[in-house]
Amino acid sequence: MSRRPTPPPSRAPGSPASLRSANQLRVVTLLRESPDLWTQAALARETGLAPATVSTIVRELSEHGLVDVVPGSGRRGAAVRLSPAAGCVVGIDFGHTHVSVAVGSLAGTVLKEEWQHTGGGEDHREALELARSMLAGLGALEAAAPPIRAIGLGLPAPVSEEVVESDAIFPGWAGVNARAVVEDFFGVPVVVENDANLGALAEHRAGAARGTDNSVFIKTSAGVGAGIVVDGAIFRGARGTAGEIGHLTLDDRGPACRCGKSGCLEAYTSTPFIQRQVAGALPEAPVAADVDEVVAAARDGNVAARRALEEAGLHLGRGLASIVNLLNPSLVSIGGDMARAGDLLLEPARIGLRRYALDLAADTPVVAGELGARASVVGAVLLAADSIVLSPSG
């Protein structure tokens, strides 16, 4: 089944710019998927575009250094390939307690990456300084390095017109125009997306949801969010807040959530919940045991650790039932830190889904994402690569 990459949110569906961008991306998708040289006739045949349209797209991309046109001979004519000298893209994933950066090719392939834990609570300036230091450590900012053509930025909060909407969910970035600030900081074009949407994009293109047109990706870490793919494209909603599954109310008399409400799904399924549940119950770990320590203890038979993961999974399954009943996806993939628990979390989630979902949706597959904690930064690289192709003049 063909993959239909997601256009950036600035492109109005059905507009001439959107159609032009979509046609460009159809051409470049073929160039990404095969390193071989392509004739323009073959590109036209495979994409279904008119030869004149392909010729125009190739000329525009060549003028901006994105493709090489290699002279041919005889009836074969000129051949086309992505230019290895055109530069690179960068993905940055800011989490509640981590920063991930990756350098990728214009084909959207991750070439090198780094992850660092943070204390949480950093404002956006501190977070950007850390990201710049990490990129410098990867050699991406050296004068001799390939030029950075675009940055894909992931944030764990609702993002509307590139502004973080909630001061409760991600206070260090609240009210900040993320695109403008990061463009000013790095001096290159930036595209901004919710981190769960980036995870959904990555799993759709290169992970567990390959070959499906409708899927849901759940990122469960310090926060919980969903990325939704409908008919091959990310569904963002009217103001970019679609997929905030972590703030579904399970019990309005339940524990307080950082969003200001009570009994949210996130309050029962995130890493802080797990840490509270096992506090003092793991003699070999500190009071604030991390996820890996909890998972290791559960696999060694620690009852408190197993029960904490089981309870989190059952609550997660209840939340999944709501989204599965509503959207009827082909598959749900689970990512983020909590996904490292594997079936210790996923099997209770499947039980919870079967308990609360309609019969026709209760057998929806719930699987571990193939990209693990890397999903959002991989999606950020893909988004950045797409934005280069879609906006060559930028």
> What DSSP state is assigned to residue 224?
E
CA distance 275 to 57: 53
CATH topology of domain 88-200+375-390: Nucleotidyltransferase; domain 5 (3.30.420)
Q: Where are the domains of the chain?
A: 16-82, 88-200+375-390, 210-369
Q: Where are the beta strands (DSSP E) in the chain?
A: 38-39, 67-70, 79-82, 88-94, 98-104, 110-117, 148-155, 159-160, 163-164, 190-194, 215-220, 224-230, 233-234, 331-335, 366-368
Is CATH 1.10.760.10 correct for 16-82? no
Q: Do domains 16-82 and 88-200+375-390 have the same CATH topology?
A: no
CATH class of this structure's domain 210-369: alpha beta
Q: What residues contact residue 168 under an 8 Å CB cut-off, 6+ apart?
A: 258, 259, 260
**pLDDT at residue 35, rounded to an integer:** 62
Take residue 308 and report the two structure tokens written for it: 């904490």
HSE toward the beta carbon, residue 264, CA cutoff 13 A = 20
Q: Taking a C-beta distance cutoff of 8 angstroms, is the pair 91, 154 a contact?
A: yes
Whether 134 shows a pLDDT value over 90: the answer reads yes
Average pLDDT over every residue of 294-309: 93
pLDDT digits (tens, 9 = 90+) for 184-199: 999 999 999 999 999 9
pLDDT digits (tens, 9 = 90+) for 204-230: 999 999 999 999 999 998 889 999 999
Take residue 211 and report the two structure tokens written for it: 């070959």
Average pLDDT over every residue of 241-267: 91
